[in-house]
């Protein structure tokens, strides 16, 4: 690990290759956000069925579940930059196909679902590769600030993406917006070549079978209640309480604001996230992290409850911005805990498990929201989900005492005992 001991600039933004990493990720995340808002609008416009939005999430979730664990194993065994580049190349292909479908006037969502399934395959590799690559780009002493800056830039993309996607779709339709997604993914590929991997530890041969290797991440997380509590809290809070999948219905039927308003609503979440992320990138905190995370998730649930009951656009916008700000605090704590607590040799597999939880909360959460809206109505589904989030916070505070009492990030560090064998379960 001699490369990890090199001297590094005091400011993380001056770290060679870090800005290229940030801008590349911003371009790719922006493309994903543009694509998400346009796909949701197109599918609901085709069908006028809330259940069709559930299938949008399910089409991406199933391949992610099937591929995340093998992806984590491959990321720990091979070049992480190369794997990330290949996943973005597949994503650009998906955007190109969606543009062709839109230009050709496809009237059924089934072809879109098929493309989203391929897109889900690429995302199974994208998330763990990105999370595992970041600690190789910056030194450990800059990692917390880098995570906050990375989250802040990503949220900036989620502000511009939906606004740009909704506006361009209203002007030029799906062909133009999907073409922009394709260009953004290609830009990310170009910038990725400039990212320097200066702090990677020397890769060690991994023993055992493929099964024991990619289940090592699960064993690692299960052996550390703080990490298990952190990522499972996020899983169930967003799975049960997320309202993003319902925004097309709120925009059309409740608030009546059109595709531009839908883009603004999706961007409201990102505005809150960006504001807090900017602050945390400049002033990262390291006290009372456990209680702070529980408080942030509770605020997330309360803000979504206000949105659920609102029929005023401005109040809905503010509520989503507050939910985004609270979610950013939760993301910052969760991401920092996972990175600080995981040896580099296991980051691919541990981050694959983490991304499985995140993917479950997002894509499967979309299926949950769309299904409940189809059964109970959009407002009933949103209110019930928000109340469930508050219930999860109370249950996890009681069940994960170590996480509740956690003060500093370093208190969760595994130290020398963090490296678990890959060919057998921990004792």
At residue 107, what are phi and psi to the nearest 5 degrees?
Answer: -110, -5
User: Would 342 be classed as within a structural domain?
Assistant: yes
Burial letters 257-268, b for 16+ CB under 10 A, else e: bebbbbbbbbbb
Give dist(CA 58, CA 363) in Å, integer: 6
The range of the structural domain enclosing residue 42 comes to: 12-192+211-417
Give dist(CA 218, CA 354) in Å, integer: 9
Question: Which residues, in sequence order, are CB contacts of 196 under 8 Å at separation 6+?
Answer: 16, 17, 137
pLDDT value at residue 364: 66
* Total structural domains within the chain: 1
Give dist(CA 278, CA 151) in Å, integer: 9
How does pLDDT run across 110-160, given as a tens digit for each residue? 999 999 999 999 988 988 888 888 888 887 777 777 887 777 777 677 677
User: Would 237 be classed as within a structural domain?
Assistant: yes
Q: Which residues of the chain have pLDDT under 70?
A: 1-12, 155, 158, 199-211, 213-214, 217, 359-364, 412-427
User: Would 401 be classed as within a structural domain?
Assistant: yes
Cβ atoms of residues 266 and 158 within 8 Å: yes
pLDDT value at residue 185: 95
pLDDT value at residue 114: 93
pLDDT value at residue 147: 80
User: Would 4 be classed as within a structural domain?
Assistant: no
pLDDT value at residue 137: 83
User: Would 344 be classed as within a structural domain?
Assistant: yes
CATH classification at residue 62: 1.20.1250.20
How does pLDDT run across 222-251, given as a tens digit for each residue? 877 887 888 888 888 878 887 877 888 888
- Answering whether pTM is above 0.85, one says no
Question: Which residues, in sequence order, are CB contacts of 390 under 8 Å at separation 6+?
Answer: 298, 301, 302, 305
User: Would 1 be classed as within a structural domain?
Assistant: no
User: Would 224 be classed as within a structural domain?
Assistant: yes
110-137 vs 50-77: helix axis angle to the nearest 10?
40
User: Would 427 be classed as within a structural domain?
Assistant: no
């Amino acid at each position: 690990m001699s490369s990890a001991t090199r001297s590094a600039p005091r400011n993380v933004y001056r770290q060679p290759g870090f800005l290229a990493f940030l801008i590349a990720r911003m371009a790719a995340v922006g493309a994903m956000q543009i694509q998400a808002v346009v796909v949701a609008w197109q599918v609901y416009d085709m069908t006028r069925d809330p259940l069709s939005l559930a299938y949008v999430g399910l089409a991406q979730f199933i391949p992610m579940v099937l591929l995340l664990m093998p992806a984590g194993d491959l990321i720990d065994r091979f070049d992480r930059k190369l794997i990330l580049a290949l996943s973005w190349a597949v994503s650009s292909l998906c955007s190109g196909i969606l543009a062709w479908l839109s230009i050709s006037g496809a009237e059924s969502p089934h072809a879109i679902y098929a493309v989203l399934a391929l897109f889900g395959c690429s995302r199974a590799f994208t998330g763990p590769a990105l999370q595992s690559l970041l600690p190789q780009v910056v030194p450990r002493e800059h990692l917390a600030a880098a995570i906050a800056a990375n989250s802040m830039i990503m949220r900036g993309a989620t502000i511009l993406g939906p606004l740009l996607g909704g506006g361009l779709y209203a002007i030029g339709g799906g062909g133009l917006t999907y073409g922009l997604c394709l260009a953004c993914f290609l830009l990310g590929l170009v910038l990725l070549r400039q990212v320097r991997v200066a702090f990677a530890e020397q890769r060690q041969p991994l023993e055992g079978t493929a099964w024991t290797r990619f289940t090592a991440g699960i064993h690692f997380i299960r052996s550390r209640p703080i990490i298990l509590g952190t990522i499972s809290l996020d899983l169930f809070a967003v799975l049960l309480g997320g309202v993003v999948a319902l925004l097309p219905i709120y925009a059309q039927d409740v608030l009546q604001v059109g595709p531009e308003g839908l883009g603004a609503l999706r961007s409201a979440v990102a505005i809150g996230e960006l504001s807090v992320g900017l602050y945390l990138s400049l002033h990262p905190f390291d006290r009372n992290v456990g209680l702070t995370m529980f408080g942030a998730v509770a605020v997330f649930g309360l803000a979504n409850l206000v949105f659920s009951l609102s029929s005023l656009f401005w109040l809905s916008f503010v509520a989503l911005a507050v939910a985004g700000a609270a979610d950013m605090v939760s993301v910052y704590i969760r991401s920092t805990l996972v990175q600080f607590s995981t040896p580099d040799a296991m980051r691919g597999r541990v981050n694959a498990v983490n991304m499985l939880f995140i993917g479950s909360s997002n894509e499967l959460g979309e299926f949950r929201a769309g299904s409940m809206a189809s059964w109970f109505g959009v407002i009933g589904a949103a209110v019930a989900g928000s109340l469930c989030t508050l219930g999860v916070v109370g249950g996890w505070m009681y069940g994960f005492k170590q996480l509740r009492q956690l003060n500093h990030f370093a208190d969760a560090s595994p130290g020398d005992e963090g490296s678990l064998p890959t060919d057998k379960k921990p004792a």
